[in-house]
Amino acid sequence: MGQTDKLRTAHIGVGGMGMEDLKAVSSHSSVEVVALCDVDANNLAAAKALHPNARTFSDYRTMLNEMSSGIDAVVVSTPDHTHAPASMMAMNMNKPVYCQKPLTHHVTEARAMNKLAAEKGLVTQMGIQVHSFYDYKLATELIRSGIIGKVKTVRAWSPKNWGYDGPVPEGSDPVPSTLDWNLWLGTSAERPYKEGFYHPGNWRKLVDYGCGTLGDMGVHIFDTPYNALALDIPKTIKTKCRKPNGFGFPEHNTVTYEFPGTAYTTKKFKWVWYDGEGAPKAHKDLRLPNNDQLPDQGAMFVGEKGKLLLPHFMQLPRHIVDGQYVDLDLEKFKYVGEPVRNYEQEGKKHYHQFVDACLGKGQTTAPFSYAARLTETILLGVIAGRFPNKKLHWDSKKARFRETAANAFLDSPYRNF
């Protein structure tokens, strides 16, 4: 859209991270929140208290149809399985979209969202807020400067457990009067409501709605290495985990990707992800000077001339050569900015960048053209978890696996609701 004074925003999903998104977007002085949508009446009431003049809805389709001419941009902060349906509807109505990570629940959706955004020339941004944080931008510039030479391997980890190894719950529970269960399920298959599962907090663990720990923390922690090394789509993916149960993601995963080399990597480049309690597994690449402990979450770049440790989050990268820390010469990278240790201040940058771009002031740094590739990479690892210890070969041009059985998980049919 062109230059205007105000950006009228509509927010789909305003509980949990959606509430944080709402607060951050609306903190921009040029934003006017005009519409709020959530399937949970309690979430909607809390958001309405912050923006009493906004109209409220439980069904995003009704909101977009009724308020189309009064909305300038849409923020999608729902569980993963509704990201694409809501975002695609908004983009088909020519609305810029800010969508939480991972961009989509399925590979085909990521490609479709990227294609539609490009065809319509829309401003887009994926909600990987750390993409705009100082420490991550600094790490990108350090790697691209050649500080550790060409990178051979990246090892990344999170001990979070967005997995579920238990049985499928039996029976059903009464649906809370404040929840529209049909709308929460959206395009996913119909399933009885069960308290303690699904809404509001455990859907990430379940294959029908989330993308596991890899889809949650992996997007954040992969982002900087993926961007810094100018990676594209992996050639092969292999996941070590328990056998699939068709309901919950495994609680422990080790995912190994092989990528085509880039200007910043060696010809053969490998990426290893660890998640679940106790992650990462011990490895010589992850040894720190002075027997220091690894940060709880992070990534280690292993290069020809040393290593760079990037903790997650709001900590400076650490340069390691010959088993010793090397002080960073931050004066060389003043153009990146200054270290900021205020999370609220740092967190707003990514959202405000989207607002400014919608108002014709600059561009976003995580548009769907980038976010779709990063998400596809993540989702290929999620699919590999359906075939434990088997290397899958991905043809990016054809958007197909060599292993035919894996192609069944690239998408799923949408339920009419």
**What secondary structure does DSSP assign to 154-166, as a single string?**
EEEEE-------S
- Tens digit of each residue's pLDDT (9 = 90 or more) over 287-314: 999 999 999 999 999 999 999 999 998 8
Whether the CB-CB separation of 32 and 6 falls below 8 Å is answered with: yes
Whether the CB-CB separation of 135 and 314 falls below 8 Å is answered with: yes
The token pair that represents 142 in the structure block: 């350090």
Question: What's the confidence (pLDDT) of residue 93?
Answer: 98
How many of the other CB atoms lie within 10 Å of CB of 344? 9
Contacts of 397-404 with C-beta under 8 Å, sequence gap 24+, read 399/107, 399/108, 399/111
Closest of 17, 67, 128 to residue 366, by C-alpha: 128
**Range in 139-143, 149-153, 199-203 the model is least confident about:** 199-203
H-only helix segments in 32-149:
41-50, 60-67, 83-92, 107-120, 134-144
Whether the CB-CB separation of 105 and 133 falls below 8 Å is answered with: no
* DSSP of 150-208: SEEEEEEEE-------SPPPPS--PPPTTB-HHHHHTTSPP----TTSSTTTTGGGBTT
Question: Would the pLDDT of 2 be above 60?
Answer: no
- Tens digit of each residue's pLDDT (9 = 90 or more) over 11-65: 999 999 999 999 999 999 999 999 999 999 999 999 999 999 999 999 999 999 9
Burial label for 335, CB within 10 Å (0-12, 13-18, 19+), is exposed
Measure the CA–CA gap between 14 and 274, rounded to whole angstroms. 31
Measure the CA–CA gap between 19 and 276, rounded to whole angstroms. 27
- Tens digit of each residue's pLDDT (9 = 90 or more) over 72-129: 999 999 999 999 999 999 999 999 999 999 999 999 999 999 999 999 999 999 999 9
